[in-house]
Amino acid sequence: MNSFSYLLEEPQKRLDTFLAGENELTRSAIKKLIEDGHVFVNGEIVTKAGRELKIGDTVLLEIPDSEPLSIRPEDIPIDIVYQDSDLAVVNKPQGMTVHMGAGNADGTLVNALLFHLDSLSGINGVIRPGIVHRIDKDTSGLLVVAKNDRAHLSLSKQIAEKTCHRVYFALLEGEVKEDRGRITTYIGRSPVDRIKMAVVPEGKGKLAITDFEVEKKFQGYTLMKFTLQTGRTHQIRVHAKYMGHPVVGDPVYGYKNQKFKLKGQLLHAAELTLVHPTTGETMTFHAPLPNYFTEVLEKLK
């Protein structure tokens, strides 16, 4: 069992909200840890997620040893860009789901990781071992995987505090006028279609900030560089649509009539910068655009 302690520096925060901000664990995982008696405030067990905290309170979080995994390892080839005893960086292909969910019990990145890696963190439970953050099924590119709980908490905190930087490239419909800028909105469930995410009024969703910069303009298309300042579900895809220039090939937020025969959106997580949990070294990883992406760019030339 691993233990992590925190000193509260801001008042009037719920216990579950505070821990979510510190670790970016799933809300359900935090709630379960609290209810199971694994959280202490000023030395006393607290089982209410809504417990209010004040300046100077100390919070101790215990992470029990992970349960035996019920997901079977699968010998699925994956591109492991880097790995050591604490973490692995993987270049996920388009079409692969990150973890098990409704309709995909196998063939996921987690199934592949269980086969290829010697260990994975257990904080996110048996369904999502090692998964610190996700990218969409039909988005390709880099994501970091934690191989132990200590590394998981460190990486999650970096994402929450925006010290872990993620850069994406996307081909957008139309020619974007602005060369660079920042999109700041709130993103939540679409009031029209609950399967989709959408830009919503303040108070109806979470703050979402995306920086963009034009890489190259083509006739009728724009190759764009996006840097995430927050990590909301479908953030770049929703913000691209909000700009009036959806991602090419996006089956959810894009145009119905597509010029190119694609299996998903042309969106790629090309760069990932993080601080190593043990050494403190700043590390940057790159993944080139996949072939199907570059083929489209060649056609546009």
Enzyme catalytic residues: 136
Among residues 49, 64, 57, 73, the alpha carbon closest in space to that of 10 is found at 57
**CB contact set of 102 (below 8 Å; sequence gap of 6+):** none
Q: Which residues of 93-113 are buried (b: 16+ CB within 10 A; e: fewer)?
A: ebebbbbbeeeeeeebbbbbb
Give phi and psi for 121, each to the nearest 5: -65, 155
> 176 and 224 in contact (C-beta within 8 Å)?
yes
Contact 270, 286 (CB under 8 A): yes
Q: For tokens 């692969």, name the residue.
A: 96
